[in-house]
Structure 1
Amino acid sequence: MALEVQITFDCADPAKLSAFWAEVLGYRLQDPPPGFASWEEALEAMGVPPERRNDASAILDPEGAGPRLFFQRVPEGKQVKNRLHLDVRAAPGLAGEERMAALEAEAERLVGHGATRLERHEPAPPLAGGHIIMADPEGNEFCLD
């Protein structure tokens, strides 16, 4: 039996961060439980108080190929550099200036959605194709690769 992988983000604002990553990856918000038209309706019926309704959020790959991303509210903010990060494959198969131009275009798009650009690493053939280090709206580093 193959196991499934879920990637979990500790964060301050699950709704905002899940919306950001859904935009980055082309994912969609997980549907509410059957019988409910919205998460707000479901949480109300479950008796979840309004101040707890942004405690968690999840997004899914609409094609079912990628992992589920789960966002959970935690009281503490991000403290140090990530020990694990996501590489967003924005330029697969491209090389040189064509690759870097594609990465720059994606970096610009993501900055428009709340990302922060941190560093650009130039191509260094034969092993390094070049990449851009970014941070999501809560400071979690990721690479455009």
Structure 2
Amino acid sequence: MSLEIAREIQFTFDANDPGALATFWAEALGYQIQPPPAGFDSWEQALTAWGVPPERHNSASAVVDPKGAGPRLFFQQVPEGKSGKNRVHLDVRAAPGLSGDERMAALEAEAARLVTHGATRLERHEPKPPNAGHIVMADPEGNEFCLD
């Protein structure tokens, strides 16, 4: 008998500004910035105590699902910018259980909300059976994702 083990996963994003991108995705997903380790009141306090120079304090950030159900998103600073289309993207389920005009109206409302937080709307795909329609967006650093 084989024992199957489900693996915990995290999604890692290369970023120019990990703190800002983490803040965007926390807003988009209803996540929170990962709290600092026990014994520290802030990440700045922890990083300073560990000897990380102030200019490196924004080299990484992470967001977590406050309910503990979703995967962790980790943002790491890299020197280069985004150079092409994502090969993997997130689908943000913004209209579960809705269909037709009601679904697309909910997706439009979420797209408008995320634009106020730095997202860019790229294109709308109309519902065509068996697909339900979606909106393609980009986060503040150009990473594509779908409102589905």
Name the structure 1 match of 2:82.
Answer: 78
Tell me the SS of whatever aligns to 1:75. Answer: coil
Query: How far did residue 110 of structure 1 move?
Result: 0.1
Number of aligned positions between the proteins: 144
Please say if 1:3 is aligned against 2:7: yes
Unaligned runs of 5+ in 1: none
Query: How far did residue 129 of structure 1 move?
Result: 0.4
Query: How far did residue 2 of structure 1 move?
Result: 2.4
1: distance between equivalents of 2:115 and 2:67? 26
Q: TM-score, normalised by structure 1?
A: 0.98
1:92 pairs with one of 91, 96, 99: 96
Name the structure 2 match of 1:121.
Answer: 125
Mapping of residues 104-115 of structure 1, within 5 Å: 104-115=108-119
2: distance between equivalents of 1:31 and 1:98? 36
Query: How far did residue 67 of structure 1 move?
Result: 0.2
Tell me the SS of whatever aligns to 1:32. Answer: coil
Unaligned runs of 5+ in 2: none
2: distance between equivalents of 1:42 and 1:35? 8
Name the structure 1 match of 2:137.
Answer: 134
Residue identity in the other structure for 1:110: L
2: distance between equivalents of 1:69 and 1:33? 17
Tell me the SS of whatever aligns to 2:105. Answer: helix
Residue identity in the other structure for 1:86: L
1: distance between equivalents of 2:122 and 2:110? 14
1:50 pairs with one of 39, 47, 54: 54
